[in-house]
Amino acid sequence: MRCLRRPLYWVSGVLGVVVLTALFANRAPGPDGSSQGSGVTNDTDALVERGRYVAVAGNCASCHTRPGGAPYAGGVAFEAPVGTIYSSNITSSIEHGIGKWTAEDLRRALHEGIAAEGYRLFPAFPYTSFTQMTDRDVDALYAYLRTVTADKYQPTANDFLFKQRWAMAIWNGLFFEPARFKPDPKRTPEWNRGAYLVEALGHCGACHTPRNRFMAEVSANAYRGSNLREYVTADKVRDWAAVNLTSSADGLKTWPVDDLTKYLHTGFSLRGGAWGPMNEVVGNSTSRLTLEDARAMATYIKSLPEGGETKTPVTAEQAALGQAIYHDRCEKCHGASGRGGMFSGPPLAGSAIVQSADPDSLINAILYGATPPDGMKLGAWETMKAYADVLSDTEIANVANYVRGSWGNGAPPVDAARVAKQR
Ligand code: HEC
Ligand code: HEC
Ligand code: HEC
């Protein structure tokens, strides 16, 4: 399903691991590229600790801990056009959690999307990525979840369509094939570790890979950007562009591995800082991983095959309409040259957010400002405030077109109606 499934490498991948294991006995990297210290895996504390780390890398908390709720007690609402689905209680509560589940049951849920009770889970739970997790990581996760305080909270029942679990048998038949991660022996251990973290645990593709109309990720366009719908309230939506993560011009072309590593590890780099939906990803997950793991992820992402959408860029006349607004409102921090600065703000020249064919994240930055994850600092940058009450839809479209068409940027134009949709 993903670019990692290369049948020929599969055999050599397994052979490679077998040979390495034989050569280095206990010190060989596991299939996920992490080191397995001798004897440590038998130690319960170490297993629980490893499980805690796996839970962080998989960002289970962002989806299973609702604001103000007990850790992992579920009830986080995921809205879709067809209704609402609520995350499950995954504490060891017998009544409402997964207290009766065995390690084998948890494997089946993460690898196949089937609950211990036999019903099929919806892919709002990204088992389409978690299917690649090693058994060893799932077992560690199981050991860790057993140590989480049981909480009796019962999540709200799903809306009608999300009770039709039989439908998932058909969907899975069409779009899902369980598959464990297979390392690529032609690549370095660091690359393989990064691939495992991004593909299996980090489920970055869940947001950054476009989906077809049946909500299945289109692997041919992996990581080339997708749209994300946030329900601010039940009837108010805010769309986001989960930008192209490949190194094409509208993606991460201008980001060296070092900056991407720093962004994932600290939420801040001179190429850009975390804000928007990435605040949860960086705040709850990637910033809590080791520096080596953040670097491995960055290494893998920078190796993704390039690709993006080419659309007719804004014309010089369209861009010129926003020049004065940029000068008055933005230049102080992002610079006349669009290159930002260490003490002012991130560069907009070459920015994936600015150049994304889908302008929604750019519009959101201007409408609602850009603030980092709680407790994180963006170096010496001054926080960007919201312009929703300061600029009209047309002015925001104009300034968006200015940054989309200046300093070598080339992205399609934005109109006022697109801005209005985001209010
Ligand atoms: C993007 C959001 C998201 C992430 C990340 C996520 N989950 Fe879930 N999870 C859900 C949702 C939503 C459901 C409910 C699915 C359904 O009802 O079909 C769910 C269901 C489950 C279930 C089924 C429980 C039951 O009683 O049926 C388990 C087990 C589970 N998740 C474990 C995990 C673990 C472990 C992690 C981290 C490795 C994780 N989840 C990460 C959203 C998420
Ligand atoms: C919940 C959806 C979601 C997930 C999961 C997600 N992203 Fe993102 N990402 C977004 C959105 C939306 C944006 C644009 C707005 C923003 O920066 O928050 C973005 C932006 C980015 C950017 C560009 C930042 C910039 O300022 O130019 C990078 C790099 C990135 N994501 C990397 C990742 C990686 C690596 C992962 C997996 C660990 C990941 N994302 C997982 C939604 C997501
Ligand atoms: C007070 C300084 C300041 C002003 C004025 C300002 N910004 Fe920003 N802007 C920032 C900072 C700092 C960030 C990074 C926030 C973060 O990463 O959490 C940012 C982020 C952005 C981003 C996201 C960039 C990326 O790649 O992640 C865009 C787009 C943006 N600003 C556009 C604008 C526009 C357009 C204006 C004028 C309407 C403007 N900004 C005014 C400081 C400013």
* Any ligand 1 atom below 6 A from CB of 87: yes
Query: Do residues 207 and 226 make contact, with C-beta atoms less than 8 angstroms apart?
Result: yes
Burial of 38 (0-12, 13-18, 19+ CB in 10 A): exposed
Tokens (6 digits) for 212: 């077809």
Q: What is the pLDDT of residue 10?
A: 25
Gap between the Cα atoms of 85 and 78, Å rounded: 5
Q: What is the pLDDT of residue 113?
A: 96
Tokens (6 digits) for 38: 């001798």
Gap between the Cα atoms of 192 and 412, Å rounded: 36
| Nearest protein CA to atom 24 of ligand 1, as residue | 88
Q: What is the pLDDT of residue 308?
A: 83
Mutate to test the pocket of ligand 3, among 355, 384, 392, 403 (most ligand atoms within 8 A of CB): 384
Gap between the Cα atoms of 125 and 128, Å rounded: 8
Tokens (6 digits) for 126: 């990204």
The alpha carbon of 285 and the centre of ligand 3 are apart by a number of angstroms equal to: 23
Q: What is the pLDDT of residue 286?
A: 98
* Residue ranges for the chain with pLDDT beneath 50: 1-29, 35-40
Q: What is the pLDDT of residue 28?
A: 41
Q: What is the number of the ligand 2 atom nearest to the C-alpha of 353?
A: 27
The alpha carbon of 251 and the centre of ligand 2 are apart by a number of angstroms equal to: 11
The alpha carbon of 33 and the centre of ligand 1 are apart by a number of angstroms equal to: 25
Distance of CA 291 to the CA centre of its chain: 18
Q: What is the pLDDT of residue 62?
A: 95
Query: Do residues 267 and 281 make contact, with C-beta atoms less than 8 angstroms apart?
Result: no
CA angle 184, 188, 192 (to 5 degrees): 50
Handedness of CA 250, 255, 260, 266 (dihedral sign): negative
Q: What is the pLDDT of residue 33?
A: 55
What dihedral angle (degrees, nearest 10) is formed by the CA atoms of 33, 36, 42, 45?
-80
Gap between the Cα atoms of 62 and 345, Å rounded: 28
Q: What is the pLDDT of residue 294?
A: 98
Mutate to test the pocket of ligand 3, among 244, 330, 391 (most ligand atoms within 8 A of CB): 330
Query: Do residues 210 and 217 make contact, with C-beta atoms less than 8 angstroms apart?
Result: yes
* Any ligand 3 atom below 6 A from CB of 370: yes
Closest CA to 97 of 120, 65, 126: 65
Q: What is the pLDDT of residue 7?
A: 29
Tokens (6 digits) for 266: 């600290």
Tokens (6 digits) for 139: 């077992």
Cα separations in angstroms, 61 against 174, 355, 368: 29, 31, 25
Gap between the Cα atoms of 236 and 372, Å rounded: 23
Q: What is the pLDDT of residue 80?
A: 79
Mutate to test the pocket of ligand 3, among 245, 270, 334, 343 (most ligand atoms within 8 A of CB): 334
**Shortest-distance ligand to the CA of residue 334:** 3
The alpha carbon of 180 and the centre of ligand 2 are apart by a number of angstroms equal to: 24
Q: What is the number of the ligand 2 atom nearest to the C-alpha of 263?
A: 29
